Amino acid sequence: MKNYKIIIQYDGTRYKGWQGQKSTDATIQGKLEHVLSNMAGHVVEVIGSGRTDAGVHAAGQVANFKLEEHWSKDEIFATLNQYLPEDIAVISIEEVDERFHSRYQAIEKTYVYRIHNSKIPDVFGRRFSYQYEEKLDIDRMKKAAALLTGTHDFASFCGNKKMKKSTVRTIYQIQVEKEKDDIVISYTGNGFLQNMIRILTGTLIEIGSNRREVEEIPKILDGKNREFAGYTAPPQGLLLKEVRYENGD
């Protein structure tokens, strides 16, 4: 058996997220496994670097799977892109060490959240940005973002209230930038909890709209309670941009 690493792009609009589900075939993992299993003649498990929520997009999702040696890398690549839906594409494939695991060995991820901050809707970008009409104060958002960087217990920003594992994560950087009518927030960290980026974004939006104070951030973190943080921003503005590994991949 050979172990293959792939990088995938997808428009998550019509999918129920990354994770395969028995109740539906509308998942990214499910689509990949369907094509690979049909090709191989047996069930093939595809392991993703992480689970993106329903409606969330990816430009650089990483996954790995194992196949019998008689399939070439080029054959697998061509088959995937021939039979996957048009809103999912494999942009690269490589053979990796048999011990490579896309989820366990990931050391850093970057997500981008795009807010269209205008009273005029973005007709062409509506599936990939959050339409928010009220004017946002980007300087206040930047100050709050600075308080969220570093290593913290992000329990207040976790969508899973029954989370039993550690909710401590490290955010290396949060960049808040203005691009014409859009506000683009980039999050880079060693990992993120369920809905964490969308809750962080909802909180920053509340601060940017003066509904919450910058100084509340330490209290929200210390409270370790989902009720203390802001709302969960909708999924369409979120994109998994990149996943990095120790060897520089």
Is 42 among the domain residues? yes
The answer on 191 and 238 residing in a single domain is yes
Specify which residues 6 forms β-bridges with: 63, 93
Domain boundary among 49, 68, 96: 96
Q: Which residues contact 11 (CB under 8 A, 6 or more apart)?
A: 57, 87, 88, 127, 128
Of 227, 129, 235, the closest CA to residue 184 belongs to 129
| 53 assigned to active site | yes
The answer on 92 and 114 residing in a single domain is no
The answer on 132 and 87 residing in a single domain is no
- What pTM, to 2 d.p., does this model score? 0.95
* Crossing angle of the two packed helices 28-40 and 73-83, in degrees rounded to 10: 130
From 53, 74, 153, 249, the catalytic residue: 53
Is 150 among the domain residues? yes
Per-residue pLDDT of the chain (249 residues; tens, 9 = 90+): 999 999 999 999 999 999 999 888 899 999 999 999 999 999 999 999 999 999 999 999 999 999 988 889 999 999 999 999 999 999 999 999 999 999 999 999 999 999 999 999 999 999 999 999 999 999 999 999 999 999 999 999 999 988 889 999 999 999 999 999 999 999 999 999 999 999 999 999 999 999 999 999 999 999 999 999 999 999 999 999 999 998 755
Q: How far apart (Å, rounded) are the C-alpha atoms in residues 171 and 201?
A: 14
Q: 147 is in which domain, residue-wise?
A: 107-245
The answer on 116 and 85 residing in a single domain is no
The answer on 91 and 27 residing in a single domain is yes
The answer on 188 and 144 residing in a single domain is yes
Number of compact structural domains in the chain: 2
Is 9 among the domain residues? yes
